[in-house]
């Protein structure tokens, strides 16, 4: 089974994503440590940098 880490402190979002991806054979793990967020108006660079940082820290695929 493939695994991905969802970096979020929101347990509701985690449960929803875990259920959706679980139906597709993907195990979702939760990490609540957070990540440094850039101060930008556009969400894309914030999410991209957060995902890069978390992936390097955790050593596995992540989503933020």
pTM value is 0.82
The boundaries of the domain holding residue 49 are: 2-58
In a domain, 7, yes or no: yes
Instruction: Give residue 58's pLDDT.
Output: 93
Number of domains in the chain: 1
In a domain, 39, yes or no: yes
In a domain, 63, yes or no: no
What tokens appear for 47 in the block? 């999410």
Q: At which residue do the structure tokens 């440094």 appear? A: 36
* Maximum alpha-carbon separation in the chain: 37
- DSSP structural state of residue 33: S
Task: Express each pLDDT in 29-62 by its tens digit.
Answer: 999 987 777 788 898 988 899 899 999 999 999 9
Instruction: Give residue 4's pLDDT.
Output: 98
Instruction: Give residue 54's pLDDT.
Output: 92
Please determine, for residue 16, whether its predicted confidence score (pLDDT) is greater than 90: yes
In a domain, 25, yes or no: yes
- HSE-up of residue 59 (Cα within 13 Å, Cβ side): 0
State the CB neighbour count (10 A cutoff) for residue 43: 8
In a domain, 64, yes or no: no
Instruction: Give residue 2's pLDDT.
Output: 95
């Amino acid at each position: 089974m493939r695994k991905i880490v969802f970096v979020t402190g929101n347990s509701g979002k985690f449960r929803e994503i875990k259920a959706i991806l679980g139906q597709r054979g993907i195990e979702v793990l939760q990490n609540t440590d957070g990540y440094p967020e850039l101060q930008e108006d556009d969400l894309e660079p914030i999410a991209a940098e957060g995902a890069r940082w978390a992936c390097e820290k955790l050593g596995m695929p992540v989503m933020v």
